[in-house]
Chains A and B, each alone.
Chain A
């Protein structure tokens, strides 16, 4: 239904909540921009095997440091050039998107599950449960994430799974804090009390009455934490403790390009820009979702 074909009923009753939402989404430029960029990156990651012009692991030492096509000596054969082992940079960038997204989504699934469970329990039950969860959150907040991640990865060695696990188990605090306070707000609503009065089970109340009403907060936190996890992974890989070669992580690509910083700056600029765009668009989308779903938060 578009604006051109107003029907009488709608004019009578005003726009439906769904239509208001749709309108505010379409009016929110940065949300659309962020969402669009993410869709492109996700598609690039999913379709990497089709899109990548070369095998990202195939090394050819005779064509090392081929510059990207817009520089002297570049060619369309390797649009973004080749790295220090002669591997196609564009292909590695595309496959690198998979690593970044896998880590972002994986870490957020783990941390979101932990954090939401704890937060909702604390918010819904209150009392001792709340105390215990608060204690856990305090403990978690007192640990410096990067330092702990570095230590764990240094002990167990860096690999994709370990990085996902470590970040997942370290980044649940914001979920817990936000879910706890949101649940507390919703818990005393009439519809929750009605459900309790009717005799619904706790699980059912949480799943069907509370969760849908705090979902928008969850999504906002999830996007922020996803960006956080992706950046942390890049940091760990840059330090040599994250994803191990030959996996094409963007952080690793920056680390590998660092040596040639003065002479081939594009080696860092390309994965750096990719990382920048991904984080920016995730944050834009997160902010946008918050603005659109909770108008009070607009200022």
Chain B
């Protein structure tokens, strides 16, 4: 143990010596320093697609609505109230007396300008999925507007309370996307006071913030640092250069938990193993259902969750995240039973196992644990560990018989964002089951919740019966932060520093 602390001490000393940032921050000077891994090219809410930008956008800007993370209810934010006129029209009454960080007053002109601007593809909003449902907006009064949708889209409220944030029309018309990216102006609880592109941003509390559903911020200053390397983040955390980090792997979180507060929250991402049941890659053992069942019995998902993922993660059996609408849970389940797996393999004509290519793009440790379980029943793999984009292209090109993948459903709480994506005969579909496709299409296009549920249940049951997928587990995120900080994480993976407090 002495050796260990010496070593850590040496590493810390090295880090302290090299970091130019004063190591003492935190409660004493009301400054919260947070570390994120990804480098942002600019701070324009509509140009960047990284999760980091979503986080910043929630702090600097406001949407018309706000979804209460605790209840899931949509509340008025910059809008005071809203009303569905019909399936494609929503009326909003806006909040009065709100001003942007530069002093510009917020009114219907700003909201209408923003909605119309983002709805035009030529303006280059990088994530078109966030805005391509908007037809147009019109001003109906100084503080009221009407929004037209292209087609009925119940998820509009979700987008209006998330990624669609309101820009100041005069300022944006003057400086454009580039100006917004280097010197952002919003109505949010924090204003940007310093931008060192890709490196460090400083946010200060917006003292004139309206008392909306987000509440008022308490911490005076947030320093946002970009630290790509995880061990460097830990070094900074241990040396006091950083007060808050996230996405900490469970083992490290456990160790850091001795000195820091650790919160764990589930995410919508699930891991799964997918088989080439349809024979897209040619003749493989995977087209035999007995082999797929054998693999389902061979992988000890419970042990992987308990030992490797830990936290809020759970074994999943249905091909979706349990909280998603339509995620039918009463499907066939395959327990860990290596003896049964061997029997099934023998029945399928592989008493001595076989060798098959196996691919993964993240969580090498989990993949190795799966490989270890497979080896125990006689299946050996040629393991390929690729970058996500490379593996995705290979998968979509029909070259991958057997893979460990994950899917986060873009945080959309509906089965259509996962099961329908993978089993509707698209490029990612390795089952190509006509029944499943029919049921999913019926469910996706129906507005009757009962019809949707029934059809999703049929599809998910068949997917489990046929073992087109072996769903593995849900993911979780660890947040590690200073003991002086009070912080609550939410399953949508958007840290809310405007709700954080010093103890």
Give A residues with C-beta under 8 Å from B. 57-59, 61-62, 64-65, 71-72, 84-86, 157, 159, 240, 244-246, 256, 258-263, 265
Contact = CB atoms under 8 A, between A and B. Distances in A.
Given A71-B1, A244-B385, A262 B252 contact: yes
Contacts of B372: 57-59, 85, 246
B238 to A, nearest CB: 7
Contact of A246 (B303, B306, B375): B375
Contacts of A65: 251
Contact of A85 (B7, B231, B368, B384): B368
Interface in B274-328: 300, 303-304, 306-308
B235 to A, nearest CB: 7
DSSP majority for the A interface? loop
A296 to B, nearest CB: 44
Contacts of B449: none
Contacts of A71: 1, 3-4
Contact of A64 (B11, B230, B307): B307
A157 B384 contact: yes
A259 B384 contact: no
Nearest to B252: A263
A75 to B, nearest CB: 16
B388 interface: no
A263 B255 contact: yes
A58 B249 CA distance: 23
A261 B231 contact: yes
A255 to B, nearest CB: 9
B234 A61 contact: no
B11 A245 contact: no
A86 to B, nearest CB: 8
B365 A85 contact: yes
B230 A259 contact: yes
B451 to A, nearest CB: 43
A240 B371 CA distance: 16
B368 A246 contact: yes
Given A65-B251, A262-B235, 6 more contacts: A64-B251, A72-B1, A85-B368, A244-B383, A262-B11, A263-B251
B49 interface: no
A86 B231 CA distance: 22
Contacts, number: 74
Interface string B364-375: 110111011101
A57 B375 contact: yes
Contacts of B364: 240, 245, 256
B4 A265 contact: yes
A61 B299 CA distance: 13
Contacts of B86: none
A245 B8 CA distance: 29
27 contacts: A57-B375, A59-B369, A61-B303, A61-B304, A61-B306, A64-B251, A64-B307, A71-B3, A72-B1, A85-B365, A240-B364, A240-B385, A244-B382, A244-B383, A245-B364, A246-B371, A246-B372, A256-B364, A256-B365, A259-B230, A260-B252, A261-B231, A262-B234, A262-B252, A262-B255, A265-B7, A265-B8
B307 A62 contact: yes
A240 B365 CA distance: 12
B249 A259 contact: yes
Contacts of A240: 364, 385
Nearest to B249: A259
A258 B251 CA distance: 12
Closest 10 CB pairs of A and B: A61-B307, A59-B372, A263-B255, A244-B383, A61-B303, A245-B368, A261-B231, A262-B234, A265-B7, A72-B1
Contacts of A61: 300, 303-304, 306-308, 369
Residue of B255, B300, B304, B306 with highest tally of chain A CB at under 10 A = B255
Interface string B202-244: 0000000000000000000000000000110011001000000
A261 B7 CA distance: 10
A244 B230 contact: no
A229 B63 CA distance: 57
A245 B231 contact: no
Contacts of A244: 382-385
Contacts of A159: 382
A13 to B, nearest CB: 58
Contacts of B375: 57, 246
B296 to A, nearest CB: 18
Contacts of A263: 251-252, 255
B428 to A, nearest CB: 22
A86 B300 CA distance: 14
Nearest to A86: B307
Given A61-B303, A65-B251, A85-B368, A245 B383 contact: yes
Interface in B336-378: 364-365, 367-369, 371-373, 375
Nearest to B380: A246
Contacts of A86: 307
Contacts of A246: 368, 371-372, 375, 383
B377 to A, nearest CB: 13
Contacts of A265: 4, 7-8
Residue of A58, A157, A240, A263 with highest tally of chain B CB at under 10 A = A263
Nearest to A65: B251
Residue of B1, B369, B384 with highest tally of chain A CB at under 10 A = B369
Contacts of A256: 364-365
A258 to B, nearest CB: 7
Interface string B247-265: 0010110010000000000
Contacts of A262: 8, 11, 231, 234-235, 238, 252, 255
A155 B144 CA distance: 57
